[in-house]
Structure 1
């Protein structure tokens, strides 16, 4: 499987994505406007509209951008050891969101729009499928290497994603930042019980 988005981001695209990131963190999804993104970008709304016709089109590209950054951070990990790679993936999914709680709120707001906005729904599904693919590949690699027990990798992966999604939602909805730490510990216990 390849990364879900074949999109490449030019220098102006990157700058707009970074401006979108800052605007989402500051204003959230509900109060996000092209004007606020343009203010962060340091240019006019026309400059943003030159690249993106609508806010939804821009936000769909932003979801692609976030996944690309996530994939890059995982690919930069130098170890091929399945246990270490799985730990890094779970840290990225459960520890890293603590660094940007405002972004987590905005992403949950966007996720709540997925049933009504097909472009969001498609992106969230693609992102979920790709992250599950990465987790499953690491689990299968560990099984092949004899490091992990011979288990149903798809079931383990879906279970880990349930832990991740539940913890991220609780962290935002219930303002339960400790929930991410608890989920990380739970994921470790689950990995120990199922894979070792």
Structure 2
């Protein structure tokens, strides 16, 4: 899976070949074909692998305070994660562009979307229950809005080099001014 990641970063989705993945690993192209019939099958397995990593990553505890957890969770979705991240996001965008035509890609990508949506909805509801999120908001609508903003910001970053930092700041402002209650909003920017 590491070799697939590195090859995707170097070559992108459209130009990626099984040989490129083999070149990034200790396996031969024939060994890759033994386990995966095609590049498509390998990439579906790669998306499954990424989902498992992502599920573990977003399950990490950000503290007990619901306001801090919400802001931290959203900000982490809009923070670059090291070398090759933009190249990887570009390759992932290419895979996403295939999803309308490829059910396996669409299903895997929908799992990511549902996971983020469910986590945000749960955080918002917990915040409402604990009095730190405005009880006038609808957790489902707000979670959908946040997912759409995060996805859009990531796409803009890859396609037109828009700043993730600026998107993160705008979303933090939205959360503190529109979602969190007064006392929680004041402390969430720390």
Normalized against structure 2, the TM-score is what? 0.87
| Aligned twin of 2:186 | none
Q: Find the partner of 2:138 among 137, 146, 152.
A: 152
| Aligned twin of 1:65 | 49
Query: Could you tell me whether the CA contact under 8 Å between 1:136 and 1:153 is conserved in 2?
Result: yes
**Mapping for residues 87-102 of structure 1, pairs under 5 Å:** 87-96=71-80, 100-102=85-87
Per-residue CA deviations over 1:19-53 (Å, capped at 9, x if unaligned) read 11111111111111111111111211122122222
Q: Find the partner of 2:70 among 77, 86, 97.
A: 86
Give structure 2 stretches of 5+ with no counterpart. 182-190
State the distance in 2 between where 1:59 and 1:85 align: 32
Give structure 1 stretches of 5+ with no counterpart. 1-16
Q: Find the partner of 1:38 among 15, 19, 22.
A: 22
Q: Find the partner of 2:149 among 163, 172, 189.
A: 163
CA distance 1:194–1:88, shift in 2 (3 Å): closer
Query: Could you tell me whether the CA contact under 8 Å between 1:111 and 1:120 is conserved in 2?
Result: yes
- Give the superposition deviation at 1:55: 1.1
- Give the superposition deviation at 1:98: 6.7
Asked whether 1:107 is paired with 2:92, we answer yes
| Aligned twin of 1:134 | 119
C-alpha RMSD of the superposition: 1.6
Normalized against structure 1, the TM-score is what? 0.85
Query: Could you tell me whether the CA contact under 8 Å between 1:20 and 1:37 is conserved in 2?
Result: yes
| Aligned twin of 1:123 | 108
State how many pairs are aligned. Answer: 178
